[in-house]
Amino acid sequence: MPRDKVLVAQGGGPTAVINQSLVGVVLEARKGKNAGCVYGAFHGVRGIVDEDFTNLSRESETNLEKVAATPSSALGSTRDKPDEKYCREILASLQAHGIDRFFYIGGNDSSDTLRILSQQARKARYPLRCVHVPKTIDNDLVLNDHTPGYPSAARFVAGAFTGVSLDIRAIPGVYVGVVMGRHAGFLTAAAALARHHTEDGPHLIYLPERSFNQRAFLRDVKQVYGRLGHCVIAVSEGIHDGRGVPIATKLVGKVERDAHGNIQLSGTGALGDMLAKTIRDNLGIARVRADTLGYLQRSFLGCVSDVDQREARRAGVKAVRFAAQGQNGSVTIRRRAGKTYRAEYKLVGLAAVGGKTRTMPNAYIATSGTDVTQAFRDYLRPLLGSSLPTHANLGNRRVKKILD
Amino acid sequence: MPRDKVLVAQGGGPTAVINQSLVGVVLEARKGKNAGCVYGAFHGVRGIVDEDFTNLSRESETNLEKVAATPSSALGSTRDKPDEKYCREILASLQAHGIDRFFYIGGNDSSDTLRILSQQARKARYPLRCVHVPKTIDNDLVLNDHTPGYPSAARFVAGAFTGVSLDIRAIPGVYVGVVMGRHAGFLTAAAALARHHTEDGPHLIYLPERSFNQRAFLRDVKQVYGRLGHCVIAVSEGIHDGRGVPIATKLVGKVERDAHGNIQLSGTGALGDMLAKTIRDNLGIARVRADTLGYLQRSFLGCVSDVDQREARRAGVKAVRFAAQGQNGSVTIRRRAGKTYRAEYKLVGLAAVGGKTRTMPNAYIATSGTDVTQAFRDYLRPLLGSSLPTHANLGNRRVKKILD
């Protein structure tokens, strides 16, 4: 009986735990009685077409464990979104190398690639098992309670907004923090977990699930600033007006578009700067600061959720086991009913996940449209993991004035 | 004998450990036989003039320890830089409340305030002890080996550049990360500690200690990009041309100036965005991304150097002891000679530190002007503290191509 020949690759934006899934696949695939070679493709599907493979069979377990704890995609990644022709080239490469199991760790585009590829393999009567391992800091895969990568990015966002909220309280002003997430507000919403006392920031949260209205925005900022003397705002990079036009496009004259026609939202401070200018110009507040959290959200070394690490690893392991049972599909993470948080892993069809986008359910968004609900906080809290750093305030024991 | 009446306040930009110094002062001041009330002023010197005091004598040790571990300035801060008149108002408030020991945790402006104040107290024959406790993420206080706050911020910057370097290697392009530091490049230089292997980023580091030349910059970026296919750049917000004009001013049409006439460098992504545009326009590289690390550098919850925590605490404790010996001055941190890192604390005159700025010594800057030396790495490494997260790469066991 010929041995299994396994290929693993990573697609889309890196995360803090995508290498956990990689190592989960590699170690599990090396276990079985029938285990053959385990290849890794550099830079996702691009590396398959280019036959740019590395042999992971001889990678030591010690080094693999170190790689697992390393952020970003150790094999490199790609933004390529293969069409039928591209997938035929992938298949030709897989066939040439006798690869019969392909695990692709990525978002909904990666899942869709596997859908096309598995159809082509079936037509060509080539015995290929394709299993998609979910990852995305955007948390926007359907049929998943959440996706690996999101909890760690959410932990970073919560830590960032806890810090800047304390900072802006110390030297009062208005602060705008722009968070990743083109269509789904889950990551921006994580800023709410920075709030422990009623007056803590962020005080306003703008999600792409709601239309952004500049007048309402200025009214909200004015109200908070008037009440507290400072205001911390979390804004999704994907906020858009009532007709769906991204605010980033409206504010910025010349925007960069990627291969899919998406405008560049990350890697620029333009949206934050323009919102800061809008506040400064319209409300006459002198100290207005904007930060764009940028690439640190997904790659910062030293901020990771242990729950996320375990689940990302588990998703990789499960993918190999599902393939061993002869199944194609996408691994999904569900939450078991019950008081204690517990995840379970189910395989669904590739077409069910591929190319679809999940956004924040209404139950997670406050009626004000500028905050999240307790239901969202309860949803996110267990995902952030253990050993969360805490913070505290001094008591207020005001001394009676003498001179005044 | 009347009891000591102590006041503590925090000035300038917050840090991750400035509350350690605060708690060091409070706990030590509450210890002595002669200990009286310990007051805290809200928002630095502004709170003294406004008699905005809180009584810290009854703050529980448990809560103080939690506050110590909290980033940013728990008492609030101020950017006010008092002149003679302002200092007379401070003195009047201190006299009215019978305060005879004042500890001001801050940078060189705070030290200068104490210099003026202690002169006025002497003239007025008011028995006031003033001790300055150093802090600044810029690391720019003279006579100090380093200053509390810098090691934790440096740890953040190193973690950020480790992550983005792995990220930009995974999806190749050019990345510009803008780091705080108007005149001193210590914090930007910390990005070099992200580099473990020769090809790791950051590949280029631009410091305010060297003149920034756009042609040389573009040549350097082109060279690295040509060699590696990607390029990670750490840039100080304070970079300037040969005549000392900040690049931020040259690139941005309208800039904001603070009360001291300094242009706003932080809280805007403008410098990074303009450098990215310069690279894109001149080198024809499509994927160029810029992040401005912003306020996260000094306040992020969950990234702190334990060495920094201990030293910041110690600096507060030492300040109280120096005052008890009847001394005015500024606490400085020195490094003991010897192989093992060890700090010691010495008091120097207020005039020796106040208003002066220390920049990176030449021995820490590579002759290329775009990197640091091993001497700098050796200097910084012990300050970053213990339990530094590590990262690892996969081995390169290229598989022979078949189709190609």
Task: Say yes or no to pLDDT of B52 above 60.
Answer: yes
Report the residue of chain B nearest A37, measured CA to CA: B399
| Two structure tokens written together for B108 | 């060189």
Mean pLDDT of B47-68: 97
In degrees to the nearest 10, what's the CA dihedral of A193, A195, A201, A205?
Answer: 40
Minimal Cα–Cα distance from B23 to chain A, Å? 11
Name the residue among A40, A73, A171 with its Cβ closest to that of B77: A171
pLDDT, position A248:
85
pLDDT tens digit string along A144-189? 999 999 999 999 999 999 999 999 999 999 999 999 998 999 999 9
- Residue A261: what pLDDT? 57
Section B396-401 average pLDDT: 94
> Is the separation of the CB atoms in B201 and B228 below 8 Å?
no
**pLDDT per residue over B325-364, tens digit each?**
999 999 999 999 999 999 999 999 999 998 899 999 999 9
Instruction: Check A100, A138, A273, A371 and give the catalytic one.
Output: A138
Return the HEC string of B24-81: HHHHHHCCCCCEEEEEEECCHHHHHHCCCEEECCCCCHHHHHHHHCCCCCCCCCCCCC
Distance from CA of A146 to the nearest CA of B (A): 22
Percent over 90 (pLDDT), chain A: 88
Residues of B in contact with A70 (CB under 8 A): 166, 390-393
What's the pLDDT at A306? Answer: 98
Measured between beta carbons, which residues in chain B are less than 8 angstroms from residue A159? 300-303
Which residue from B54, B270, B391 is facing A397, i.e. has the nearest CB?
Answer: B54
Region of A35 please: left (phi>0), alpha (psi -120 to 50) or beta: beta
The predicted structure's pLDDT at residue B272: 93
Residue A270: pLDDT band (50, 70, 90) is confident
**Which runs of E-coded beta strand occur in B123-260?**
129-134, 174-179, 204-206, 231-236
Continuous segment of H or E residues that includes residue A104: strand A101-106
* Confidence band for A264, pLDDT divided at 50, 70 and 90: low
Q: Which residue from A56, A291, A294 is facing B267, i.e. has the nearest CB?
A: A291
Give residues with Cβ within 8 angstroms of A95, minimum separation 6.
Answer: A124, A126
Tell if the CB–CB gap between A167 and B70 is shorter than 8 Å.
no
In chain A, what are the helix, strand and coil shares in percent, each to the nearest 5? 40, 15, 45
Q: How far is CA A243 from CA A247, B230, B255, in A?
A: 11, 37, 33
Sequence-ordered list of residues with C-beta below 8 angstroms from that of B197, at least 6 positions apart, any chain? B393
Peptide bond into B202 cis (omega under 30): yes
Identify the H or E element spanning A101.
strand A101-106
Using a pLDDT cut of 70, give the percent of chain A over it. 95
Residue, of B337 and B36, whose pLDDT is higher: B337
From the list A233, A195, A230, A227, the residue with the least C-alpha distance to A212 is: A233
What's residue B22's pLDDT? 98
Is it the case that residue B250 has pLDDT exceeding 80?
no
- Interchain contact, B391 vs A69, CB within 8 Å: yes
B114 Cβ neighbours under 8 A, 6+ residues apart: B102, B104, B130, B131, B132, B328, B330, B350, B354
Would the CA dihedral through B310, B316, B319, B323 be positive or negative? negative
pLDDT mean over A122-132: 97
**Is it the case that residue A260 has pLDDT exceeding 70?**
no
The answer to whether residue B193 scores a pLDDT higher than 80 is yes
A394 contacts B74? CB cut-off 8 A: yes
Q: Residue B33: what pLDDT?
A: 80
**Whole-number pLDDT of residue B255:** 53
B251 pLDDT above the threshold of 80:
no
pLDDT at position A60, please? 97
Q: Which of A77-81, A266-270, B271-275 has the lowest mean pLDDT?
A: A266-270
Which chain B residue has its CA at the smallest distance from A12's CA?
B171
| Inter-chain CB proximity B67 and A393 less than 8 Å | yes
> Would strands A53-55 and B35-41 be described as parallel, antiparallel, or unpaired?
unpaired
> What residues of A are in contact with residue B74 (Cβ under 8 Å)?
393-394
Measure Cα distances from A308 to A19, A69, A303, A392 in Å.
Answer: 12, 11, 11, 26
Pick from A50, A289, A402: CB nearest B266: A289
- In the predicted model, is pLDDT for residue B127 greater than 90? yes
What is residue B3's three-state secondary structure?
A: coil
Q: Which of A21, A279, A299, A404 to mutate to test the interface with B (most CBs of B within 10 A)?
A: A299
Whole-angstrom Cα distance, residue B75 to residue B53?
A: 9
Amino acid (1-letter code) at residue B391 = H
**Cα distance from B337 to chain A (closest Cα, Å)?**
31
Among A79, A169, A296, pick the best mutation site for testing chain B contact (most B Cβ within 10 A): A296
Q: For residue range A31-62, list pLDDT tens digits in order.
A: 978 888 999 999 999 999 999 999 999 999 99
Residue % of chain B over a pLDDT of 70: 95
Q: What is the pLDDT of residue B270?
A: 87
Single-letter amino acid code for the residue at B90:
I
Pick from A247-256, A373-382, B209-218: least confident: A247-256
Residue B35: per-residue pLDDT: 84
Per-residue pLDDT, B346: 98
pLDDT at A199 over 70: yes
Q: Do residue A391 and residue B69 have CB atoms under 8 angstroms apart?
A: yes
Give percent of chain B with pLDDT exceeding 90: 87
Q: Which pLDDT tens digit goes with each residue over A54-75?
A: 999 999 999 999 999 999 999 9
Average pLDDT, chain B: 94
pTM above 0.80, yes or no: yes
CA–CA distances in Å: residue A207 to residues A199, A204, A372, A374, B295:
21, 10, 10, 16, 22
- Residue A256 clears pLDDT 60, i.e. is over it: no
Helix (H), strand (E), coil (C) string for B129-140: EEEEEECCCCCC
Residue A35 has a pLDDT of 84
Rounded CA separation A285/A223 (Å): 12
> Is the bond preceding residue B134 a cis peptide, omega within 30 degrees?
no
Q: Which residue has the tokens 């909904």?
A: A108
Subunit contact A166:B299, Cβ cutoff 8 A: yes
Residue A302 pLDDT exceeds 80: yes
Task: State whether ipTM is beyond 0.85.
Answer: yes
Q: Are B56 and B8 in contact (CB under 8 A)?
A: yes
**Residues of B with a known catalytic role:** 138
Q: Is the pLDDT of residue B256 over 60?
A: no
Average model confidence (pLDDT) for chain A? 94
Residue A128, helix vs strand vs coil: coil
